[in-house]
Amino acid sequence: MAETAEKYCIQIVTYIRRRRDLTQEQFYDHWKNVHAPKVVPWAEKHGISRYQQVYVSGSMVPIAATASAPNAISKDNLPTTPVEFDGIAMFLVPSLKQFTDAFKDPYYTEVIEPDEREMLDKDGPGSGVIASFQGPMIDMVHQGQNTLGQRGLIYREIFGEFEKGRAL
Domain boundaries, the chain: 3-137, 139-168
Q: What is the pLDDT of residues 70-90, one digit of tens each?
A: 655 555 567 888 999 999 999
Per-residue pLDDT averaged across 39-48, rounded? Answer: 98
CATH 3.30.70.100 for domain 3-137, yes or no, is yes
Per-residue pLDDT averaged across 22-37, rounded? Answer: 99
* Separation between Cα atoms, residue 91 and residue 100, nearest integer Å: 12
The whole-number pLDDT of residue 69 equals 62
How distant, in Å, are the alpha carbons of 85, 115, 122, 148 from that of 94? Answer: 27, 25, 28, 21
CA 166 to chain centre: 38
Tell me how crowded residue 93 is: count the other CB atoms within 10 A of its CB.
25
From the list 72, 64, 90, 73, the residue with the least C-alpha distance to 10 is 90
Mean pLDDT, the chain, whole residue set = 88
CA 135 to chain centre: 11
How distant, in Å, are the alpha carbons of 63, 83, 153, 168 from that of 48? Answer: 24, 29, 32, 49
pLDDT band at 117 (very low <50, low <70, confident <90, very high): very high
pLDDT band at 1 (very low <50, low <70, confident <90, very high): very low
DSSP state of 9: P
* Separation between Cα atoms, residue 108 and residue 4, nearest integer Å: 29
* 71 neighbors 129 (Cβ within 8 angstroms): yes
Q: 4 in helix, strand or coil?
A: helix
Instruction: Please give the single-letter amino acid code of residue 85.
Output: F
Q: Does the pLDDT of residue 146 top 80, yes or no?
A: yes
Strand pairing of 10-16 and 141-142? unpaired
* Separation between Cα atoms, residue 140 and residue 80, nearest integer Å: 35
